[in-house]
Structure formats: C-alpha cells, structure tokens
C-alpha cells in the first residue's frame, strides 16, 4: 500500500485581505489515497438485490465496483483543526474538482452537523433550500442548507440521479458528510458515476430519443393525512396552497389540484445540459430514479396497488409517452455498471459536481448517518 503525497503550497495564496481566522497556520498536506485504501472488504452485491429496481433484469452487474485511480479523487488531509486547513481545502477543491468530478476529503476533524455546516460555508459553498424536493430528508440548519442525506428506509437502494434534475433550479455541487460510518460490510455506500462514462456506453438511439423528446417529470403530492407519502405541505414547506402555487409558477411548472386535494405538477426538461465550466455535454436527469418503477421497488410500496400516476414521482418522454421498460433497464444496467463505491469513514467530506456526476445510495444495516448540503455554486 503506497501513499503518494501531493503537497499543496498555500503560501502564495494567502493575501493580506484574507480573513484572519481563515489563514492557515501551515500548508495542509494532502496525501492521495489509493484505490486499495478505499476498497471494501466485500463488494456490495447488485444483481438480484432486493429493493433495487432492475437488479433481476438484463445486463445488471454482479457487484458494485470499487474506486479507480482517479474516481473519486480521494485524499487524506493531514491537519489537527479546521482552522488550519480550510483555506488549503478550498483551494484544493477549486483546483481538483473540475478535473475529477468528485473529491473525497478524509480525516477532517468534524463531529457535528454544526461543524459540517460551518466548514461548508467557509469552503465558499452557498447552501440552497430543498423546497420542492422529491425525497424525505430533515432540515438541520436553515442558514447553511444542511440536511440529512436521505430519510428513506435503510433497506431501500436509491438509484442514481443528478440532484434535483427534475427542477429547472438545481444544486451545482453537493457536499456529503459522514457523521456515523456504517459497520464493516453493512452497506450504505454513496455510489458515484461519471456522466462521461454513462454517455460513452448508452445506446446512441436511446440518447438520440432523449435528445429529441426530453423528459417529462410529473409529481403527485397528496394532502397531509394518515399514510400520505410526501404531502404537498411537506414538499413545499408551507400550509398555504397559494405559496405552493407561487413556487411552481416561478419555476415554470404546470399544475392542477385534484378533487382529493392532491397537487399534481409537471414540467418537460432536457435530459442533457451543457456544463457551464467544462463546456461538455452532460447526462443530467432523473429518468430512472424519478420513474414510478423506482418507488414500486421501495419497501414502503412493496405490496401496493397504487396506479402509476398516484406515485409521488413519474417520468415520461417529453411528449407524454411511456418510457419503454427495456430502455429503463438499459439505463439502469449501464449506470450501475459504470458506478463505483467506497466505505464511508467518520469525518469524510465528499464534494460532488452535481452536473458531471450522478450519485446513489446503497441499502444498509445498523447505524449510519450521512448529512448533505446542496450548494448553488
């Protein structure tokens, strides 16, 4: 196991104008972690896995691949305090995130949600609200935009997605913080996959179809009541229907209220974007994770007989036609085939370029607590 140190000289970066509390007392050292150091004892099984949509279908990989030499780019930060390393970390991320798409900072002395919120802000990230979001997560700090990564049941696998790709307003970066690492071989990885890898392996006809037709994202938000999943009051963080309508109008959604009091809303969005920093075309969507078949594969809907349009999320082609099951299976199989995962360690901070990289969540057993901050910049 060979470590390859890459020392970052921050001396030149410190200017007189820099806030005193953000001056590094010394240049923090970043030691690149090898794939062997990020490898799990046992790779997580994928093919045939329960509560993983598509896992019994064609082309599904047997296990989740370990990290490669460059993805994610992972470093151990040699430091004793956040004060000593925050400027170095900020520069390190600025220099490396565009190239790698995902950077893991290990060994940071963080313990609490407040530690993570503070670090995120000092790294220069601006948190955004999860108003209009598609999964259950708890807001921990309104000011910094810190949430639990997901409150979905631990048995469920959350499929790959670009965060909030179902909305015209989405985070540019994501920061994850491991406050409680899962036990060894207990799952709970946050798999990552690069847009470039997906695009190079998806069938060109599938890509062309989505380029032509785009994606129609439809949401169904019931009124609050017993057993209601993601009621509109929770989705829009309000009890006032007019506030929800205003939010939707501002974001360009069409909507209607059903006699039951459910709010249905939809919008057609591209399946691709042009990355504002690299200029590359990226695969940016939630085609499979927003599809009703994703929720149908979740434990909470195991024996449900809900019609498709009463699931909280649904995707179609932009013209309203159904996405063929074979196309969904192809996307799922290719995406999981290109994905990598690593075991979390306490104190890890993972910064992800939300446009260049999709993320997911493996199911897990035992304790695990990952926090997330959605950054607009």
- Find the shortest distance in angstroms from Cβ 227 to Fe ion: 24
Taking CB under 5 A as the criterion, the residue among 159, 163, 181, 348 binding Fe ion is: 163
* Residue number, 163 or 353, with CB nearest to Fe ion: 163
Window 208 to 237, contacts with Fe ion (CB under 5 A): none
Number of C-beta neighbours around residue 137 at 10 A? 17
* Stretch touching Fe ion by CB under 5 A, among 6-14, 157-165, 236-244, 307-315: 157-165
* Residue number, 170 or 265, with CB nearest to Fe ion: 170
* Residue number, 262 or 374, with CB nearest to Fe ion: 374
* Residue number, 78 or 136, with CB nearest to Fe ion: 136
Residue nearest to Fe ion (CB): 163
* Residue number, 110 or 192, with CB nearest to Fe ion: 192
- Find the shortest distance in angstroms from Cβ 354 to Fe ion: 9
* Among 62, 59, 64, CA closest to 326: 59
HEC string for the chain: CCCEEEECCCHHHCCCCCCHHHCCCCCCEEEECCHHHHCCCCCCECCCCCCCCCCCCCCCCCECECCCCCCCEEEEEECCCHHHHHHHHHHHHHHHHHHHCEEEEECCCCCCHHHHHHHHHHCCCCECCCCCCCCCCCEEECCCCEEECCCCCCCCCEEEECCCCCCCCCCCEEEEEEEECCCCCCECCCCEEEHHHHHHHCCHHHHHHHHHHCEEEEEEECCCCCCCCCCHHHHCCCCCHHHHHHHHHHHCCEEEECCCCCEEEEEEECCEEECCCCCCEEECCCCCCCCHHHHHCCHHHCCCCCCHHHCCEEEEECCCCCCCHHHHHHHHHHHHHHCECCCCCCCCEEEEECCCEEEEECCECCCCEEEEEEECC
* Residue number, 24 or 163, with CB nearest to Fe ion: 163
- Find the shortest distance in angstroms from Cβ 347 to Fe ion: 21
Instruction: Tell me how far apart the alpha carbons of residues 74 and 92 are, in angstroms, rounded to a whole number.
Output: 11
- Find the shortest distance in angstroms from Cβ 162 to Fe ion: 8
- Find the shortest distance in angstroms from Cβ 31 to Fe ion: 29
When asked if residue 189 is in the footprint of Fe ion (CB under 5 A), the reply is no
- Find the shortest distance in angstroms from Cβ 340 to Fe ion: 16
Instruction: Tell me how far apart the alpha carbons of residues 356 and 275 are, in angstroms, rounded to a whole number.
Output: 8
8 Å CB contact between 153 and 298: yes
Window 75 to 114, contacts with Fe ion (CB under 5 A): none
* Residue number, 163 or 197, with CB nearest to Fe ion: 163
Q: By CB under 5 A, how many residues form the interface with Fe ion?
A: 1
The contact mask relative to Fe ion for 283-322 (x = CB under 5 A, - = no) is ----------------------------------------
- Find the shortest distance in angstroms from Cβ 156 to Fe ion: 13
* Among 306, 308, 339, 341, CA closest to 325: 308
- Find the shortest distance in angstroms from Cβ 82 to Fe ion: 25
* Residue number, 152 or 163, with CB nearest to Fe ion: 163
* Stretch touching Fe ion by CB under 5 A, among 20-28, 160-168, 242-250, 267-275: 160-168
* Residue number, 163 or 189, with CB nearest to Fe ion: 163
* Stretch touching Fe ion by CB under 5 A, among 10-18, 65-73, 162-170, 222-230: 162-170
* Residue number, 262 or 355, with CB nearest to Fe ion: 355
- Find the shortest distance in angstroms from Cβ 373 to Fe ion: 12
- Find the shortest distance in angstroms from Cβ 161 to Fe ion: 6
Residue 289, CA distances (Å) to 84, 86, 249 in order: 40, 35, 24
Q: Which residues bind Fe ion (CB under 5 A)?
A: 163
């Amino acid at each position: 196991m060979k470590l390859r140190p890459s020392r970052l000289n921050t001396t030149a970066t410190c200017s007189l104008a820099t806030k005193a509390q953000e001056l590094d007392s010394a240049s923090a050292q970043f030691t690149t972690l090898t794939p062997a150091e990020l490898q799990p004892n046992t790779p997580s099984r994928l093919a045939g896995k329960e509560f993983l949509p598509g896992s019994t279908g064609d082309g599904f990989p047997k296990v989740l691949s370990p990290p490669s030499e460059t993805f994610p780019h992972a470093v151990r930060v040699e430091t004793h305090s956040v004060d000593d390393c925050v400027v170095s970390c900020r520069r390190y991320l600025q220099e490396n995130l565009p190239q790698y798409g995902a950077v893991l900072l290990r060994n940071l002395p963080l313990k609490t949600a407040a530690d993570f919120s503070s670090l995120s802000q000092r790294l220069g990230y601006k948190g955004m609200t999860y108003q209009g979001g598609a999964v259950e997560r708890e807001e921990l700090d309104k000011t910094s935009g810190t949430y639990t990564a997901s409150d979905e049941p631990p048995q469920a696998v959350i499929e790959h997605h670009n965060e909030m790709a179902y909305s015209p307003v989405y985070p540019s970066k994501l920061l994850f913080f491991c406050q409680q690492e899962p036990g060894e071989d207990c799952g709970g990885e946050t798999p990552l996959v690069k847009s470039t890898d997906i695009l190079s392996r998806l069938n060109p006809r599938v890509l062309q179809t989505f380029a032509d037709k785009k994606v129609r994202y439809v949401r169904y938000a019931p009124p609050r009541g017993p057993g209601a999943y993601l009621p509109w009051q929770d989705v829009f963080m309000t009890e006032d229907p007019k506030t929800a309508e205003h939010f939707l109008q501002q974001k360009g959604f069409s909507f209607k209220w059903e006699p039951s009091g459910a709010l249905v809303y939809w919008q057609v969005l591209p399946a691709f974007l042009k990355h504002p920093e690299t200029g590359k075309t990226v695969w940016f969507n939630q085609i499979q994770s927003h599809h009703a078949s994703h929720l149908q594969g979740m434990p909470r809907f195991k024996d449900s007989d809900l019609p498709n349009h009463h699931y909280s999320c649904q995707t179609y082609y932009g013209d309203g036609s159904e996405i063929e099951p074979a196309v969904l299976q192809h996307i799922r199989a290719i995406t999981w085939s290109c994905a990598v995962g690593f075991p979390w360690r306490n104190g890890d901070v993972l910064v992800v370029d939300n446009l260049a990289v999709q993320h997911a969540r493996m199911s897990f057993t035992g304790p695990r607590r990952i926090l997330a901050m959605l950054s607009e910049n």
